Structure 1
Amino acid sequence: MLAIKCGHLLLPGGSFITGGAIVTSRGKILEAGPDTKIPEGCPILDASDKWVTPGLIESHGHLSEDSNEMTAPFTPDMSAIDALDPFDPCIPLIRSAGFTTFCTLPGSSNLAGGTGIAVKLKEAQCPEDMIIPECQPLKMAIGENPKLTYGKKGITPGSRMGNAALIRRTFTEAAAYLEKREKGKLDAPNRAKEVLADALAGKRRVKIHCHTAQDITMAVRLAEEFRLTYTLEHVTSGRFTAEYLAEHQVSCCVGPLLIPALKLEMKDIHPSNPGVLERAGVSFSLIQDAGWDTVYLPSLAGLCTAHGLSSQAALNALTIQAARNLGLESRIGSLEPGKDADISIFTGNPLENTAVCTDVLIDGVNYEKRK
C-alpha cells in the first residue's frame, strides 16, 4: 500500500484542485480525491509541493521503428508486437517525461499496415510483459503515403481514387469472409482476413491515418460505409472540417503538433488546430506520432493553449481522452478507484515547459524518483 499526498491533483474532468490524496494497493487505486483519508501507518510519498496527474498517454506513436512493411498495400496480419524491442532506449526516456502508456503502431505506407499494441512503459524482458492485450487496433492509412509507395511500382493504389477503391474491394471481400465465419462455413481460417473481419464486426478498433481535408472526409465516408469503430489519426487539416467532424461524431488523435511540413499533405500543421476542434465540439487526444519526441508532447500541448486550446482540454487530451481513443478508459486515464495505479508527479503544471517529472508510477511501481 502507498499513499500520495498531493499539492495539486488532476480530477477526471481535467482541472486541478489544491490538496487531495491518492491511496494505492497492489497496482490499483483504492481512493483518490480531495477528501481521501490516508490510512494510519500507510507509507506516504510526499508530493505536497507538486502536481499529480494520471500517467500520460501517447495514443499514436512508433517504437522500435522496424514496423513499416512496404511490400503490399494490405498487410493486416502484421503486428507491432513483433517489432517491439523492450530495451529500446526511447522507453525510459519517454517514461521519464511522465508517460506510462504508449500505443505503438505499424507505419503508414500501406492502406492497412497491421495491428498496433498499447504498452505500459515499464521495464520488461519481452513485449508480452508490457502489452495491454485488449488494445490491438488495426492501423490504416490513406493519402500520399500509400499512393506514392505503390504508384511508383505501377500497382494500385497510385491515386486517392485507388486508395478508396482498393479499400472498398478488400473490405467487401472481408465482409464475405465474415459472413462465412459467422455461419461456420469457412474452409480454413485466414489470418489477414480475420483481422479485417474483426474490424467489420466491431471487435477491433481501427486507426485511420489522414492529413488533408479531402482525406479526412474520405476516411469518414469509408468508415461509415463499413460501420467501423474508428478514430482518425493526425487530422492536421482538421480545423477546415471541424463542423463536419463534429456532425459525424468523429474522435481524433491530433498531431504531430509542431514540426516542419515533411510532405505536402502536412502543410496545414498549426498549433491552432486543436483549439478549433475543441470549439466545434470534436473529441480528440493529442499525439506526437514519433518515438522519443513524445517527451515534448506536454509542452507542445501547452503551446496550443496559447492558440485557443483550453488547459482542461489539453490535459484531457493527454489522459482520459487518450484512454478513450484506445478503448482503455476503464483502466487508465484518470485517478479513480479501481483503475491502474499509473500516476505521474511534476514540479509544476505539465503543460508548462519548466515543469519536471519527478516520479512515474506504473501499476504502483515507481520508476522515476528524482530530487
Structure 2
Amino acid sequence: MNNLHVLEKINIPQFREDIISWFQMEQRDLPWRKDQDPYKVWVSEIMLQQTRVDTVIPYFNRFMEWFPSLQSLADADEEKVLKAWEGLGYYSRVKNLQSAVREVAQEYNGIVPDTLEEISKLKGVGPYTAGAILSIAYGRPEPAVDGNVMRVLSRILLIEEDIAKPKTRKIFEEAVRRLIDDNHTSAFNQALMELGAMICTPGVPACLLCPVRDHCEAYAEGVQSQLPVKNLKKRSRDVPIAAAVITNSRQEILIRKRPAKGLLADLWEFPNYEDHASLTTKRESFRQQFQEQIHVIPELGEHLISIEHIFSHLVWKMDVYLGTAEGITEDMLISQQMKWVAETEVEHYAFPVSHQKIWKAYLEKK
C-alpha cells in the first residue's frame, strides 16, 4: 500500500503498548464505555457520526432510557424514535438504525452479527461502523477508520494522500490491520479515535502531550500541522424560504409532515416554501403557494424571526411570519400531509432544529 513503507520504521509492539496504556489512563468517562454491549456500541457510533461527543452524551442517555434494548428499539413507533433523535440531525441515520435493528431482531434472534460479512449487510452499517462494533464489542481485529483515525495515522505514517477521496480510506484500513493489537482490539481502536479527539487535533496538535510522539514521522520532520491533506470542497447554495406559524380560531397550530424520502424525511415542520418569486415579497410568495396547495388564502401578519440554517450542501435562509387560516377541510389537510394540533401537543412531534427555533420564537412572542 502507498506510503506504508514508514511502518517498517515503527516499533509496532511498543507503539501498541504506548497508545493503549495512555488510553487506559486518560480515556474520557463516556456512557457507552460502561460495557461492551454491541447494541450500545452500535447506537453510540451512529450518533457520533458527524456529531460532537459532548452533544451526543445526553442524547445517548435519553435514547437508552427510552429504548434500553435492541428489541425495544425494534418494537418502537417511528415517531417516538424520531422524537428521541430530534436535534441530532442527519435523521436518515436513526431511520436506518431502526430498520437494521428490526432485521437483527427478526433474522438474527436479536443478536448483533459478529462477522464482517453479516454485519455489513445491515442498513446504514458501513465499513467504519462495522469495524467499530466488531472491534469494540466483539474483540475482532477490524479497522474502524474515521476522521480522527485518518488524521492520527496521516501524521504518524506521513501519509500525504488526500483523505477526502474515498479510495484513500483503504490505505488507512490497511495501516490499522498491520498496527492493531489482536489481543486488545477494543482499546487499540478507541485509543486511536481518542488520540485524534484529544491530542492529535486538527490544525496544531498538542504533540508535547502525545503518547506516541516518538513514533510520529510527521513530528520528526516538523510537518504535523500540514497533515492530513484534504482538498475536497463542497459548494453550498442559498435557499430563500418563506415560512409561517399558522393558527385558526380554535388556536390550533398547522403543521406538515415532510416526505418519507429526502432531506429531514418524515419530520414535522411549519408550512414553508422556497421563495422563487423574484417580483413579489416573501409574504406574497408564501400566500400564493399556500393557496395553490390548500385552496385557502392565509392571512399573514408580522414577521416573527429570520433563521439561517446550514446544511453540508445548502443554506436555508428563512423568513418566518405569523398567520391565520380558516376553512381548511380535512381532505385538504390529508392530501398535503398536514394537520391541526393543539399548542400543547406540538412538543410531541419531532421537528428539525430550524423549526424548533421557530416554535421557540413563537412561544416567546406570545
TM-score (norm 1): 0.26
Higher-helix-fraction structure: 2
Higher-strand-fraction structure: 1
User: Which structure has the larger Rg?
Assistant: 2
TM-score (norm 2): 0.26
